[in-house]
Each structure stands twice: as C-alpha cells, then as structure tokens.
Amino acid sequence: MSTSLILAGVTAAALLVYLLAVLLRPERF
C-alpha cells in the first residue's frame, strides 16, 4: 500500500468521526 492511500484513509476516517461527533454532540462544537 502507498503512503498516500493510507493518509487518504486516515483523513476520511477522521472526518467521519468528527462529523458524527458534531451531529451527536452539537453542544460541544
């Protein structure tokens, strides 16, 4: 696997977790 693929996967996962956290806990945003 290339480094760019790994970075893209980590970035996508982080964005998904961040969006879920904002949607579930808007008071913390």
Look up residue 25 and give its two tokens: 């806990």
Cα gap 16→29, rounded to integer Å:
15
DSSP letter for 25, please. -
Look up residue 16 and give its two tokens: 């998904």
Cα gap 7→19, rounded to integer Å:
18
Cα gap 5→20, rounded to integer Å:
23
Whole domain around residue 22: which residue ranges? Answer: 1-29
- Rg, Å, the chain Cα set: 12
pLDDT in tens, 9-25: 999 999 999 999 989 88
Q: What per-residue confidence (pLDDT) applies to 11? A: 98
pTM of the model: 0.63
The number of domains in the chain is 1
